[in-house]
Structures are given as C-alpha cells and as structure tokens.
Structure 1
Amino acid sequence: MADILSQGEIDALLSALSTGEMDADELKKEETEKKVKVYDFKRALRFSKDQIRSLSRIHENFARLLTTFFSAQLRTFVQISVASVDQLPYEEFIRSIPKMTILNVFEPYPLDGRIMMEVNPNVAYAMLDRLLGGKGVSVNKIENLTEIETRIMSQLFQRTLESFQDAWSSIIELDPIMEEIEVNPQFVQMVSPNETVVVISLSITIAETSGMINICLPHVVLEEVLPKLSIHYWMQEKKKQRKPEEKQLIENRVQQAPLLIQTELGRSDITIQEFLMLGTGDVISLNQKINKPLLVSIGGIPKYYAQPGKTKNQIAVQVTDVIEEGENDE
C-alpha cells in the first residue's frame, strides 16, 4: 500500500518541482526501472509471512500455557511471553546461544525429525532451586550437573511437552517424546548447518530471575504441516466450524444416545443368612408405601416421580412429577 502524503508534504513536493530542485522526468524513469532486491542464499526465507504469523500465534498460546504450568510447579510469580519469531540457518542459531546451556531435544511424533528447546542456565537453575525448596536463586554450575539435578530438570521439561501438544492441537495432534537433555550445543546436530529453522524466543521471568527460552523448529520437520499454517487454512477452518449441518449432526447423535432408566420399587434390609434362605414364594417387605410415588433415575441420578401400572399387559410407570435440583440429595 502506498504511503499517503500530508498536505505539507504535497506543497513541498510541488514547490521543489516548480523551482527545479527535482526533475519529474527523472522520477518517472526511477519508477520504470526494475527494482533489484538483495537475496542471501545462505539465509533462505523458506517460511512465508503468513506461516510466521501462524507460528507466532501458536506459541503465544504455548507461552500462556507454560505460564500456568510453571506457576503451579514452582509456586512463585512466572511471566512468559513471545519476544521474537525469526527464521535463520541452523548454524547461526547454534552460534547465538551460550556455549554451555540446557538443551532439551524431543521428537514431535508423528512429524519426522527433532525439535530443540534451549533454556538459559539462569532460568533453568532458578527453576531447580525452587523445586528443591529454595527462593529461586540462580547459581550457574552447568558444567558439573549431578545425576539427580539432571533427572529433576529432565522430568520438569518433559511435562512442558503437554503444553506444547495442546498449543499445536489446532494444527496437528502431536505426541512429543523427550529424547535427550544436553548442555553443549556442539554435541547436538539435528539438521545440516545451512538448513533453515524458525526460532521462537520466549522471554521468561521467575521471581527476580529473567532469561530466554528458545524453541528451534527446523523447516524439514514442519514441511508436512506448512499448508495448514497459511491464512487460507485458518479461514477455511473458521468457516467449517460455522456449518449448521455439523451442529444438527451432533444434536441427532446426542438424541440417539442410549440412556439407562431405572424405577425403584422400594428398599429392604435383610441379613446374608436370610438372603441365602430365600425361596420361591417368599415375600420381601419393602419400605415403599403403596400410596407413595416411585423414584425414577436417569443414568443413576433421580429425576422423576412416577406411579406403577400396566400398558398393553406390560408393567410400566407413569411420570407424575419432576424432581427439582437439590430436592432429593442422598
């Protein structure tokens, strides 16, 4: 969309043309010339703007889910938000993160390949300190992690994959599995160095500690679901949700669902010995008076009062009243 000039800018432009400071013929020549845009093949832009916006929207939801999850687990103030979404070569991403950090590598089944979640050591150790009963102080000791500390952090980040799965549920049903936890980026080679990846940077604050969580999504992993990340797919999905025939189909299926209806004739308390001695012709005395209505339950929940009778030589009941909510709490 072309920029709209203000009245002052229009007057200045007309003044420059009239005084000869600008040449109208040169302006026309510049417009007709082919515009050349520099393109770096090492930084191939393989994701469209629509797809980047969709990924940003998905991970904004992921950030909200993570905020709730970490707040409950760490029992302290946690704030997470999407800071940036960029596409760049995998090699450049590896160079941009610390030499020693927390790298969670997981497989997003059924998609092929692996995804990485890099957690800044300051944030990771603040989480660990809170889980172990501390105030959330970050002490960087990443080079000598104990087996217990590694196990605790691995279990914590394994559970974050449930939030990741929920955030992506509108696009694809994922079943992510934690593959490994590493501290040295040089030991993790998910894709080739020149492979394009999308890096979603999440800004996280835990009590007094703040840092970043970076999620690395390789193009080869997302290639299968890229069509679903376009704006056309989202619009089509919204239209599908508004179809009246789908609502009618659900109503029809609900109406055809079977319900268990039971009518209670009465109750009686007998001993095991009396139960074992029962025979043909014995009479069991019930607590139900003949002039009182019977209780009708739907799915085990009392709903109606009824009176017994017959219809076409079959035992039946006739509903006489509806039980109001809370009237027959037992």
Structure 2
Amino acid sequence: MVEEVLSQNEIDALLSAISSGEMNAEELKQEKEEQKVRVYDFKRALRFSKDQIRSLARIHENYARLLTTYFSGQLRSYVNITVASVDQVPYEEFIRSIPKMTVLNIFSVQPLDGRILMEVNPNIAYAMLDRQLGGRGSSVNKVDNLTEIETMLMSQLFEKSKASLYEAWSSIIGTDPVLEDLEVNPQFLQMVSPNETVVVVSLDTTVGETSGMINICIPHIVLEPIIPKLSVHYWMQTNTNKRDPDAYEKITQTLQGARVDAKTLLGETTISIDQLLHLHKHDVIALNQPIDHPLQLRINDQPKFYVQAGKSKNKMAVQVLEEFKRGKNDE
C-alpha cells in the first residue's frame, strides 16, 4: 500500500484550516474512511489483467493480418482488417451490442473447452458473398432470410479461415478449430451464462468500398487453461529459451549441403554497337580491372571475398585474400 506524503506547506495549511474552524477534524476522518470503500459491479467482473489483455491484442493483431491475406486471396478484392479494440464485458452486454440479425460463426477450439463466436456485420458478410458470386462487393442487408446456397457459401468461406485461427494461436497452444454452426439470430445463441465474462476483440474490416466490424467473442472458460501463458513473463521465457540442439544440428547439416553459385568477375567494360560490329580476330578489349588489384568472388551475385587469380592442378583457380567489406570503393 502506498501512502500519500504531504509537504510541509500542505500540513501547515491543513492545521490552519482546522484551527480556524474552516474544516472539521471529524468530517475529515469520516471522509477518509469513506474513500476506503470502492464500488464493485459483480456483473462486470474483471477477470483478466491489463497484461493478459495486451497479450490477447498481440495474438489478434497477427490474426487480423492472416485474415487480411486469406480474404484478399479468396475474394480477389481489396481487404483490410485491423484490431480496433480488446475489451472484457459480460456476455449479455456483448449480445445486446450486436445487431438483432447478423452472421454468427461458432468455432470449437479443441483441446480448449467452450466455443469461440465470430460475429460478422451484415454489411461485410454480404460484401464478401457478393464478391464470391462475381459481383463488385456491394452490400445488401437481408441477413434475416439467407437462402441455403448463401448459407453454404458463407459457411465454406469461414470454414477455410480456421487455418488463420490455428496459426495465430500456435504461439500459445495448438488448437483444432472447427466451424460448428452458422447462426443469424444472437438471441437463439446461449454459449455461456449472461453474467459470464468474455473477451471481445473488435476488428475494423474493409472489403472493397464496404466497411464494418468483425467481433470475436472468447468466453473465460476457453481462456482459463491458458491464462498463465498470456503474461509477459511467459512471453519472455519463451523468447529466451535455449535453442534445441537437435533442431540446430539438422539445420546446420542442411545448410552445409546447400549449393550456391560462386563466380569471379575478371573485369568488365562498355563498348558501342558500332565497335561490337567491327570486332575482328585478335582485337583486344581493355577491361576496367587493373592487374594489380584483387578480384571479387561473388556468391549468388553478392560480393563476398577479395581473391587473386591463379592455377591449381591444371585448372583455373582463385585464392582468397580477405573478406569483402561494404563501403569500399571497389563496391
């Protein structure tokens, strides 16, 4: 507990106010006692720390980038998805905040318990559907009467997006996301109790010229087993772990066997087309490489060493003199 320390001037002013009757000592004592009581709303229980919320934001920033790539490829259109906010609210409050008719994708994420809900604003959902059917991506909000074909197309689109969800969460836990259902009325969907705390990740989404929100609702029961992994301490431990010796050895062996293109440039020059057309046998072309300067050994067209030309076992060869360093005039 941190106590507030008053300066000497503040103490003198306080004593003066009590002595003159401007302030009553009993009232001051009562006010101090009242400040110890803090209102707590059990319907809005905060079950996640700011640190854990920031970790969830980082995970879903990566998820937003993966979804952007996925939807851009599937829809052949401009798609931009970014994280707008990450909040924890009661499930009932989340349900009241979304439209009465919308597109709700329900994912199970084994081995975690519970289900994740992805709510897609009708404007965005129909823009995506219009692009799938060859349109320009315009939005017509008629989500209350989806046809079987429209429902199937949307289900297939979001079912394939589970790979992005798996990859985004892979840094924390390996999951097996499965699209269990697609619903349009949130009132018929009761995943958890109304007062259960859920994390709502809001994604600002643009498809072509249509903008809207995609909201991801993650109940506490889903995150409970992995809450310790959402701390900064876990991320730091993960990032500072020693490398796997076996994996390091395999990578080393693979790299050592990789083939690269090595060549030495003896020199170069520039001539005109007229000079080229009039070249004859025994003509000499002067290169820009002085004979007393070392040559460059290039690895995959990148200068790596300074070398000198020679012969080894009746074959042309070069001898390495020193490592090439950037910034020299020879570059």
TM-score under structure 1 length normalisation: 0.67
Query: CA 1:33/1:204 → structure 2, altered by over 3 Å: closer, same or farther?
Result: same
What is the alpha-carbon distance in structure 2 between the residues aligned to residue 255 and residue 125 of structure 1? 50
Q: Which residue of 1 aligns with 2:144?
A: 143
Change (3 A) 1:29 1:187: closer
| Aligned mates of 2:225, 2:134 — CA distance in 1 | 43
1:56-67 matches, cutoff 5 A: 56-67=57-68
Shift of 1:33: 7.1
CA distance in 2 between counterparts of 1:182 and 1:226 reads 29
Per-residue CA deviations over 1:60-103 (Å, capped at 9, x if unaligned) read 11111111111122222211111111111111111111111000
1:252 aligns with 2:249: yes
Distance 1:34 1:170, change over 3 A: same
State yes or no: 1:130 paired with 2:145: no
CA distance in 2 between counterparts of 1:13 and 1:147 reads 74
Percent identity between the two aligned chains: 66
Amino acid aligned to 1:223 = E
Kept in 2: contact 1:17–1:23 (CA 8 A) = no
Q: RMSD in angstroms over aligned alpha carbons?
A: 3.4
1:37: how far off? 2.0
Preserved contact between residue 17 and residue 24 of structure 1 (Cα < 8 Å): no
Q: 1:92 is paired with a residue of what secondary structure?
A: helix
Tell me which amino acid in the other structure corresponds to 1:194: N
Query: Post-superposition shift, 1:27?
Result: 8.6
Distance 1:77 1:24 in 2: 67
Equivalent residue number for residue 231 of structure 2: 230
Structure 2 counterpart SS, 1:199: strand
Are the structure 2 counterparts of residues 26 and 81 from structure 1 closer, same or farther at C-alpha, using a change threshold of 3 Å? farther
1:86-128 deviation digits (Å, cap 9, x = unpaired): 1111111111111110000010111111111000001100011
Structure 1 residue 22, shift from structure 2 partner = 9.5
Summarize the Cα distance change of 1:13–1:76 in structure 2 as closer, same or farther, 3 Å threshold.
farther
Matched, 1:42 2:43: yes
Please give the alpha-carbon distance, in whole angstroms, between the structure 2 residues aligned to 1:23 and 1:68: 67
Partners of 2:25 and 2:168 in 1: CA distance: 54
Q: State the aligned residue count.
A: 255
Unaligned segments of structure 2, at least 5 residues = 258-314, 318-331
The answer to whether the aligner puts 1:196 opposite 2:208 as a matched pair is no
TM-score of the superposition, structure 2-length normalised? 0.67
The equivalent of 2:216 in structure 1 is 215
- 2:67 paired with 1:70: no
The verdict on how the C-alpha distance between 1:68 and 1:28 changes in structure 2, with shifts beyond 3 A counting, is: farther
How far 1:256 sits from its partner (Å)? 7.3
The aligned residue for residue 187 of structure 2 is 186
Query: How far apart are the structure 2 equivalents of 1:147 and 1:66?
Result: 25
CA shift, 1:166, in A, is 0.8
Distance 1:138 1:16, change over 3 A: farther
Shift of 1:172: 0.4
Distance 1:239 1:19, change over 3 A: same
What amino acid is aligned across from residue 202 of structure 2 in structure 1? S
Q: 1:115 to 1:321 in 2, by over 3 A?
A: farther
CA distance in 1 between counterparts of 2:207 and 2:117 reads 21
